[in-house]
Amino acid sequence: MAATYSPFNRMGFRHKFLTRAYLGIFLAFIWSIALSIILHTPLYSFYVSTKDVQPGSVGSMAYDTLPFAHSFAQMQQLDRFTIQIDDEDWKWQNDGFYLDDKIYYIVPLQSGENVAVRLNTNNILTYEDPYVRILPVGTLRKLEFEKNNSGGQLAIVADPEYYVDMIGDFATLYTPEAFKSRVEEILWAVLMILFVPLIRIVNVRSGIFAPCFFPMRDPMLPKNDLEMWCAGTYAIWSYSFPSLEGWPLMGGSHRARKKMRISRNSLAQQWEITSAESGLQTVRSLTSYHIRDASDPDAGWDLCRATQLLGMMFKCRMIDRETMDEEYSRVAIVIQRNFPSWQALTDNYMEGYARWIHTSVSVQQAEELISKRYRILDHLRAQENGPYSIPWNIDLSWNLQDKPSDEWTKKILKDLRSV
């Protein structure tokens, strides 16, 4: 029952935060698929442009003017070359070995020598009559490795310090299908990172639940001293029901779906308020009588319920913040004229509540409910930074053109953040 600022609500678990997180993950997955379909082609084109896989590059298909290297000595003299295989029995699949987990193949030359080759098997040209295979564009490179899994294969090559690179950037080039899958994975991860916080930010700004950080940004908290003062007038009520979270939230709670439904039902069933028009008419009816007659014993009870209704209407999105503040000011000024202090107002409120509740429920139930509200009142009065810590006689006038004071609001909310 402590008058604190929704400590559990900061994490959102009271408002299906995990459900929304899972929804964010699902939406991120759907969007990743949709975006990958749209972005796949241009992204793949850009990706390929960053690789040296153009015609004539190492690992590409041999072209007409590319010279053939028939011996290791010729390879040392040529910058780019290809190798022709005439042996029908040679199968590159049978002559593979690994160095540093990279696969190499033993390729025979017409000179009778063998060389180790990194081979792009997708770009081998094969002719059937006569049977000839033309290997991709290659170049001679220095062979460097740490882990030798060759099984002695290097012993049969012409020079174990060199290999023929016939794969180049093709070794790390994704196929279009693999690239699309990779894009989906990356987009899903990025969107998941973005969607979950985004859903929370949107819900915080909508007032559905409190922010994890920077609680002053909570739209359901008072933004000026007028709102803070008026929140104090219905602070007792805001702790009287399980669906409410307490002072100083406007309307007593955030805008979670269940809380909104309960508030709307309460406005409709108990007050016949279903719109801004009917709500403002009810508020003005509760207020206007006490402008004329300050001696009514139910003045505090009626006027505190008027500000309560305005907070509930704002919470239920029946009125905007400017309308709420304008109407708050009208009611608050009447309250100040009728009562000299917070104690006088809350005492009168409790007396009015006691008279009303005795007409609504049994005597035993009435006494239990009255006792509960008195306990709430005693607790609130005992708090140094509670609802009654804001001075009674502050200026409660409202002008849309002038920025309202927020001196006391900042002070009180700053203290509440450490609770």
Using one digit for the tens of pLDDT, what is the confidence trace for 389-408? 999 999 999 887 888 899 99
pLDDT of amino acid 326: 95
The average pLDDT across 176-184 equals 84
293 within 8 A of 306, measured Cβ to Cβ: no
Using one digit for the tens of pLDDT, what is the confidence trace for 118-129? 999 999 998 877
**DSSP state, 245?**
-
C-alpha closest to that of 279 among 348, 346, 327: 327
Q: How far is CA 155 from the centre of its chain?
A: 59
318 within 8 A of 275, measured Cβ to Cβ: yes
How far apart (Å, rounded) are the C-alpha atoms in residues 12 and 211? 8
pLDDT at 82 over 70: yes
pLDDT at 140 over 80: yes
Secondary structure of residue 163 in the 3-state scheme: strand
pLDDT of amino acid 10: 40
Using one digit for the tens of pLDDT, what is the confidence trace for 203-212? 676 677 666 6
Q: Which secondary structure element, helix H or strand E, spans residue 43, and what is its range?
A: helix 17-49
The average pLDDT across 117-146 equals 91
CB neighbours of residue 18 within 10 Å: 9
Domain residue limits, the chain: 8-51+176-205, 72-172, 220-416
CB neighbours of residue 266 within 10 Å: 16
Most confident of 192-201, 244-253, 319-328: 319-328
**DSSP state, 175?**
P
250 within 8 A of 318, measured Cβ to Cβ: no
pLDDT of amino acid 4: 42
CB neighbours of residue 121 within 10 Å: 14
Burial 70-98 (b: 16+ CB within 10 A, else e): eebebbeeeebbbbbbeeeeeebeebebe
Q: Where on the phi/psi map is residue 152: left (φ > 0), alpha (ψ -120 to 50), or beta? A: left
CA distances from 221 to 5, 203, 245, 323, 354 (A): 9, 15, 12, 16, 29
How far apart (Å, rounded) are the C-alpha atoms in residues 56 and 81? 10
CB neighbours of residue 268 within 10 Å: 14
pLDDT at 40 over 80: no
Say if pTM beats, i.e. exceeds, 0.75: no
Beta pairing partners, 84: 134
Q: Where on the phi/psi map is residue 293: left (φ > 0), alpha (ψ -120 to 50), or beta? A: beta
Secondary structure of residue 128 in the 3-state scheme: strand
Using one digit for the tens of pLDDT, what is the confidence trace for 369-380? 999 999 999 999
pLDDT of amino acid 131: 83
Task: Give the strand pairing for 114-119 and 162-166.
Answer: parallel
pLDDT of amino acid 235: 96
How far apart (Å, rounded) are the C-alpha atoms in residues 290 and 260? 30
Quickly state the pLDDT bin for 1 (edges 50, 70, 90). very low
pLDDT at 13 over 50: no
pLDDT of amino acid 389: 94
Most confident of 11-20, 25-34, 153-162: 153-162
